[in-house]
Structure 1
Amino acid sequence: MAEFVRTGVEGRIGLIALDNPPVNAAGAALRAGLVAALDRLAADPAVEVIALYGEGRSFIAGADIREFGRPSAGPWLPEICNRLESCEKPVVAVLHGAALGGGLEVAIAAHARVAVAGVTLGFPEVTLGILPGAGGTQRAPRLIGVAAALDLITTGRRIGAEEALALGLVDQVTQGDPRAVALAAAGQVLAGRLPTRRTGDIHITPDPEAIEKTAEALKHSQPHLFSPHRCVEAVATAALPLPEGLAEERRLFRLCMDSPQRAGLIHAFFAERAVAKIREATATPRPVGQIGVVGAGTMGSGIATACLLAGYPVVLVEKSPEALARGSAAIARNLDGAVSRGKLRPEARAALSLDTATAAAALSGCDLVIEAVFEDMSVKQAVLSEIELACPGALIATNTSYLDLNEMAQGLDAPENFLGLHFFSPAHVMRLVEVVVAAETQPEVVATGFALARRLGKIAVRAGVCDGFIGNRIMSAYRKAADLMALDGTPIAAIDAAVRGYGFAMGPFEMGDLAGLDIGWAARKRQAATRDPAARYHGALADRLCEAGWFGRKTGRGWYDHSGDGPVPNPEIPRLLREIQAAEGITPRPLDAPDIVARYETAMIMEAARVVEEGIALRPIDVDAVFLFGYGFPRWKGGPLHQADAIGAAEICARIERHALDNPRFWQVPDILRRMARAGGRFADLNRED
């Protein structure tokens, strides 16, 4: 195990160096090496104090989460922490880089802690659906009190060295190389200048008020989640003798490990990283110095803001001086908001470079230009031609949500330099970008799109060309299912409530009012010529609202009436619905919440399966990432196709076939699902690396 953990002796000081690149994750090899090193130095009569530190970037950045849910070799982290604490020789831990999760649990089991300035500390386990299970819920309250421990453990909040010192989580903050700090700290212990103690021996003052207050707050803020509530229960036992508290912590930890939420949250964690593994990953991104944005509306101003916040000089072009002024003002508000939230320093705000113009010629110095104009093919093609003329050789991206990139590229002289960058509104806030690859897009152009997204702090997902790409195509399907439920007599408020109960922040009709119903109306009109005349039309009620000028919040009325203190269902909908039902011969059949959720979820999975089958998404996990980071899919469910695996392909097929009895044109089992149902396959099996 010497390759992961090394020991050394200098005088009366024993050194344990952890070396498991890149971040010293506490995998099985490191754990075994740490136990062996501790035993070796504890038995060495020359050693009077032991200092533990990490090589490379971090102390211990956490457990190796690849082991979660799989059989793994001992020794287990709780055993290591207990052995550290019970060691007869004082052990001081030197923390640098990151001391997170299991790493912080190891540190607080030591007898003293010295932080190197710049270290990040925290208990992120709750974000993975678990709790600190190696003594964190028992030792942290002893060091920093119940209220502070609850804050860190139930939120996963990360703190720096100075806050950790103020709380009492560390004993000193210093500068220097971790090995040198370890020697100095051990010397202080020998000299009596750095006190040591066993954390488990510290008396804890019970704080039932903090426990009750946190528990009540979580009931309202995180009603769907499992592990935050178990965290509170575990911390509540910290007043017990340490062995009893540790036993209860372990019981609650196992409950979390067995929860489907743990699997979903870890899948979401890996999804964020998996989407970067694309076939163009080996291509060299082109350098991007200056970025142009054409269109100063909501999307254009948001994209420009995101680029400015990432440090890019930006040229904003809009033909209308009035629209340009509005866009510039919106960008200024966005940047001022970033300053007020502490995301941008005032001096950095002053240094940002935004130029504005009403002519495309101003784009001549740009390496990449992002078009964000009106969602109309002819308008976009004209703008793209102007961009290419102004800056030949530059990369050109469209922010279209639905339109065919291959058709859009037909008028370009260099279609190989063209791609889609589908941002999500508000573009400077939302994390997702779909990088849409057209037929002639070159690999280095795709790689540049991914590199840009990384610099913008966003998650890029590769998408192929189809109507709506990954996200909007799937959304159109489950939104259609919601519209059909409404036409069949299920109240829109009931549909929205059921979808919120599933875990979304908003229901489909609430979201429609927020986004604007005119967007979907334009799409339905665009698709009218190619609509299957034998298929049941889902948009009749939405069309009637739009024809009345009710586009949602921006007009004060849509699916809901927003004119009063709070939104209430639009009182005109029952009348409009009766007229449509009478004209189409619909017998009302309202659904209850479980049936609403089943149809909504199944429609989502059905279309997501087709997106994978057709290669629009590289892998199922890419679909999951799109919905986790762009559409508010509940993170603890892992994504629609992770959820499909939890339900089972056979059950999904059965659901679709039951619904097809009423609407066979819409409800059709994708071939990929039928094959999985026969073979017992899962979408997880398709999450290969490309």
Structure 2
Amino acid sequence: MSSSVSIGNNNGVAVVTIDNPPVNALSFHVRELLMQALVSLRDEPSVAAIAITCAGRTFVAGADITEFGKPVRQPDLRALVAMLETIAKPTVAAIHGTALGGGLELALGCHFRVADTGAKLGLPEVKLGLLPGGGGTVRLPRLVGPLKALSMIVSGTPIVAAEALADGLVDAVFDGDLIAQAVSIAADMVAKGGPFTPVRDRNDRLDQANLPAFDKQAAALSKKARGLEAPIACAQSVRNALTLPFDEALAAERDLFVKLVAGDQSRAQRHLFFAERQAAKIAGKDVVRRKIARVGVIGAGTMGGGIAMAFANGGLPVTLLETTQEALQRGLTTIDKNYAVSAMRGSLSEDAKRQRLALFKGSTDYADLTDCDLIVEAVFEEMAVKKEVFGRLDAVAKPGAILATNTSYLDVNEIAASTSRPQDLLGMHFFSPANVMKLLEIVRADKTSPDVLATIADLARRIGKVPVVVGVCHGFVGNRMLAARGSELEPLLLEGATPRQVDQAFTDFGWPMGPFQMVDLAGLDIGWRNRKARGQTADIADTLCEQGHFGQKTGSGFYRYEDSSRTPLLNPEVEALIRDKAAGNGIAPRTIGTKEIIERTLYPMINEGAKILEEGIAARASDIDVVWVNGYGFPVGKGGPMFWASLEGVDKIIRRLDHWHQQTGKDVFRVAPLLRQMAETGSWDGAAG
């Protein structure tokens, strides 16, 4: 047969091998050849059993996502699995690497499944705004039970081989020659004789007496969906497996899949899937990466400690530097407490906790950074302080060491000029908490060497971050657009909206929290300090800061917080302050609706994104989407601000921006030429400078 699907014979056991690099996706040409192979083997007298395996580093890691939303070419996965279930001879799936999505659904069509000890199995379609469309929601409950299936499918999180064995998803786990083991099991099954029951006919784990427990768990999971359709559809489809005959449940699964795949949410989530992979690609494949064996982090505060943890979580030893022993000990104690909390919650074993803590070396001496391959500065956000740090690093860092600043706003080119090695310096903008948040803005300075950029992009993935390369400007991509989003927040308050009303509009849109809740959480003093450095003011926020109200950490900000609680309560003092400021500015309060709140905050943000593309600060519109979804909580189901703009209608956005620009004359409403170009062409392509 073709090199994509080949057949071998081992003493009457046919070994069918799929070879479709890099991840053996079930593309049409693979499905077609696999169907032909299985049909021929089903009817071949010399073949007593069939083992399905894959070449390369993994079993089938999923369907071909590029085919989603296009006309279905037969055989589709459903037809392939259905045909597999007609084979009376014992069939065995030999799983190594990952069996995900369509790969696991293919394996569920076999009578038996064996796995390598390092294998992972799962149905992650929910992360693409979908549900398993090849029978996964109907077959998986028959092996692992409805509650376990519900958990796996709604979360989309794979399980390891040992767990799959305990749950009944696989029949055996081996550490060794997996194909030989699969052939041996197939031969044993032949010797024992049939009949061999397909998964579709195994109903012993579908006890409807468990329906109340199922509905309770499904309701709890649905609450976490935050407006996403796919998790709810997944839960419904698994419930159908419990309450409907197999073929009816299978048909219902297909109907739900077709509806989801055509919807905006799945389109948005598939866009993000490809966007993250595109953002991680750095020009210059042949660039030799530098070796990163030890990392130094300067500053053991909230940000520096989180950054240090991010590297330790990725298995890298870290030298953590502070100016005083007291500050260093405080930082190390916080790190220890953070890991202790993870261990207490069960997300980290005690052994793993000890291993990670052993990676930290504390110091107050810059000379202890001489063996570091990467040194990240995470000190106070002031240019003079940053320059002093890098001046000292210039004297102690070894040749070839990469120097990085964690600045959120400052000019990385100016920082690089304070060293004798600007080619080795770039920005690594982590997001707080740095050990949790996925985004890493990699700031490319004018003289940053290509190998430095490529090394840090690879390192970001190594420590579980989503890297996006951006250029130098105030605030880079994320914070620059955040400033545009926030430009109308105080005017909205002065004109009649309340902080709670604005925040409600945001959470209804799908944000995890509103802008006033967010600033209270981060601390009003951060924005205050930044405004003062730039000669800017904000009537309401500045007054709150002058009164010592910095948000949650002081018990009051735009909201009140009682007894160290994080629950925001109405703050009558703020409402009175808003009324006084409005009166002082001669503004008569009026009723402001949710639609206006969203348009006056998000439309300027999209407009700023267009300017960022024009200036070449971001290479692609999809990079901006990756930044905002992974760093700022833009709703996943809307695909990021630039993707959402195409759903919202760029013409509509331009009309509203033009209207507000005519009314106010504010530059934030001045329509970017690229936004008008997008309205004409329907594409952001070719926008970056």
Q: Give the TM-score of the pair, scaled to structure 1.
A: 0.94
Q: Distance in 1 between matches of 2:154 and 2:599?
A: 31
Between stretches 138-147 and 609-618, larger displacement belongs to 138-147
Between stretches 198-207 and 570-579, larger displacement belongs to 198-207
Q: 1:339–1:346: 8 Å Cα contact kept in structure 2?
A: no
SS of the residue corresponding to residue 420 of structure 2 reads coil
Question: Which AA in structure 2 matches 1:159?
Answer: I
Q: Distance in 2 between matches of 1:625 and 1:130?
A: 20
Closer/same/farther in 2, CA of residues 686 and 338 from structure 1, 3 Å limit: farther
Partner of 2:444: 437
Partner of 2:354: 349
**CA displacement at 1:195 relative to structure 2:** 7.2
Q: Is 2:384 the partner of 1:382? A: no
Between stretches 74-83 and 243-252, larger displacement belongs to 243-252
Partner of 2:540: 541
Partner of 1:511: 518
Q: Is 2:593 the partner of 1:583? A: no
**CA displacement at 1:376 relative to structure 2:** 0.8
Instruction: Choose from 373, 379, 386 the match for 1:373.
Output: 379
Partner of 1:563: 562
Partner of 2:338: 334
Question: Which AA in structure 2 matches 1:577?
Answer: I
Q: Is 2:434 the partner of 1:427? A: yes
Q: Is 2:283 the partner of 1:276? A: no
Between stretches 260-269 and 195-204, larger displacement belongs to 195-204
Q: Deviations over 1:629-667 (max 9, x none)?
A: 111111121111111121232122112123224322131
Partner of 2:47: 47
Partner of 1:534: none
Between stretches 72-81 and 89-98, larger displacement belongs to 89-98
Q: 2:494–2:579: 8 Å Cα contact kept in structure 1?
A: no
Partner of 1:487: 494
Closer/same/farther in 2, CA of residues 52 and 332 from structure 1, 3 Å limit: same
Question: Which AA in structure 2 matches 1:173?
Answer: V
Question: Which AA in structure 1 matches 2:550?
Answer: F
Q: Deviations over 1:588-636 (max 9, x none)?
A: 2332222222222212211111111111111111111111111111112
SS of the residue corresponding to residue 92 of structure 2 reads strand
Instruction: Choose from 518, 522, 531 the match for 2:529.
Output: 522
Between stretches 337-346 and 269-278, larger displacement belongs to 337-346
Q: Distance in 2 between matches of 1:336 and 1:440?
A: 42
Q: Deviations over 1:440-495 (max 9, x none)?
A: 11112212221331222211111111000011111111022223212222100011
SS of the residue corresponding to residue 41 of structure 1 reads helix
Instruction: Choose from 204, 207, 213 the match for 1:205.
Output: 207
Closer/same/farther in 2, CA of residues 359 and 164 from structure 1, 3 Å limit: closer
Partner of 2:235: 232
Q: Is 2:369 the partner of 1:363? A: yes
Partner of 2:223: 220
Q: Distance in 2 between matches of 1:56 and 1:480?
A: 52
Q: Distance in 2 between matches of 1:45 and 1:194?
A: 16
Q: Distance in 1 between matches of 2:467 and 2:649?
A: 28
Aligned ranges for residues 431-470 of structure 1 at < 5 Å? 431-470=438-477
Question: Which AA in structure 2 matches 1:306?
Answer: A
Partner of 1:89: 89
Between stretches 642-651 and 210-219, larger displacement belongs to 210-219
Q: Deviations over 1:494-539 (max 9, x none)?
A: 11111011111111110101101001001111111xx6xxxxx6x2
Q: Distance in 2 between matches of 1:94 and 1:202?
A: 21
Q: 1:28–1:72: 8 Å Cα contact kept in structure 2?
A: no
Question: Which AA in structure 1 matches 2:549?
Answer: W
Closer/same/farther in 2, CA of residues 172 and 569 from structure 1, 3 Å limit: same
Partner of 2:650: 649
Q: Distance in 2 between matches of 1:548 and 1:498?
A: 28
Q: Give the TM-score of the pair, scaled to structure 2.
A: 0.94
SS of the residue corresponding to residue 588 of structure 1 reads coil
Q: 2:150–2:218: 8 Å Cα contact kept in structure 1?
A: no
Q: Distance in 2 between matches of 1:353 and 1:199?
A: 47
Q: Distance in 2 between matches of 1:111 and 1:328?
A: 53
Partner of 1:573: 574
SS of the residue corresponding to residue 435 of structure 1 reads strand
Q: Deviations over 1:399-448 (max 9, x none)?
A: 11101112222322222221111111111111111111111111122122
Partner of 2:553: 554
Q: Distance in 2 between matches of 1:552 and 1:349?
A: 35
Q: Distance in 2 between matches of 1:686 and 1:208?
A: 54
SS of the residue corresponding to residue 413 of structure 2 reads helix
Q: 1:620–1:686: 8 Å Cα contact kept in structure 2?
A: no
Closer/same/farther in 2, CA of residues 290 and 137 from structure 1, 3 Å limit: closer
Q: 2:222–2:231: 8 Å Cα contact kept in structure 1?
A: no
Q: Distance in 2 between matches of 1:272 and 1:45?
A: 49
Q: Is 2:300 the partner of 1:296? A: yes
Q: Distance in 2 between matches of 1:391 and 1:150?
A: 52
SS of the residue corresponding to residue 487 of structure 2 reads helix
Instruction: Choose from 253, 259, 265 the match for 1:255.
Output: 259
Question: Which AA in structure 1 matches 2:459?
Answer: L
**CA displacement at 1:280 relative to structure 2:** 4.9
Closer/same/farther in 2, CA of residues 327 and 608 from structure 1, 3 Å limit: same
Closer/same/farther in 2, CA of residues 157 and 452 from structure 1, 3 Å limit: closer
Question: Which AA in structure 2 matches 1:462?
Answer: V
Partner of 2:676: 674
Question: Which AA in structure 2 matches 1:6?
Answer: S
Question: Which AA in structure 1 matches 2:362?
Answer: T
- Identical aligned residues as a percent: 43
Partner of 1:118: 118
Aligned residues: 679
Q: Deviations over 1:164-221 (max 9, x none)?
A: 2222222233333232123112101111189721222223433432442234223422
Q: Distance in 1 between matches of 2:642 and 2:14?
A: 51
Between stretches 151-160 and 334-343, larger displacement belongs to 334-343
Between stretches 576-585 and 247-256, larger displacement belongs to 576-585
Q: Distance in 2 between matches of 1:354 and 1:243?
A: 56
**CA displacement at 1:342 relative to structure 2:** 4.2
Question: Which AA in structure 1 matches 2:207?
Answer: T
Q: 1:131–1:253: 8 Å Cα contact kept in structure 2?
A: yes
Between stretches 218-227 and 329-338, larger displacement belongs to 329-338
SS of the residue corresponding to residue 86 of structure 1 reads coil
**CA displacement at 1:57 relative to structure 2:** 1.9
Between stretches 426-435 and 310-319, larger displacement belongs to 310-319
Closer/same/farther in 2, CA of residues 523 and 280 from structure 1, 3 Å limit: farther
Q: Is 2:69 the partner of 1:69? A: yes
Question: Which AA in structure 2 matches 1:266?
Answer: R
Question: Which AA in structure 2 matches 1:372?
Answer: A
Q: Distance in 1 between matches of 2:247 and 2:15?
A: 28
Q: 2:445–2:472: 8 Å Cα contact kept in structure 1?
A: yes
Q: Distance in 2 between matches of 1:673 and 1:116?
A: 51
Q: Distance in 1 between matches of 2:95 and 2:365?
A: 55
Partner of 2:13: 13
**CA displacement at 1:94 relative to structure 2:** 2.0
Q: Is 2:190 the partner of 1:190? A: yes
Q: 2:614–2:687: 8 Å Cα contact kept in structure 1?
A: no
SS of the residue corresponding to residue 370 of structure 1 reads strand
**CA displacement at 1:51 relative to structure 2:** 1.9
**CA displacement at 1:362 relative to structure 2:** 2.8
Between stretches 129-138 and 202-211, larger displacement belongs to 202-211
Q: Distance in 2 between matches of 1:175 and 1:374?
A: 51
Closer/same/farther in 2, CA of residues 445 and 157 from structure 1, 3 Å limit: closer
Q: 1:214–1:232: 8 Å Cα contact kept in structure 2?
A: no
**CA displacement at 1:290 relative to structure 2:** 2.5
Partner of 2:598: 597
**CA displacement at 1:8 relative to structure 2:** 2.5
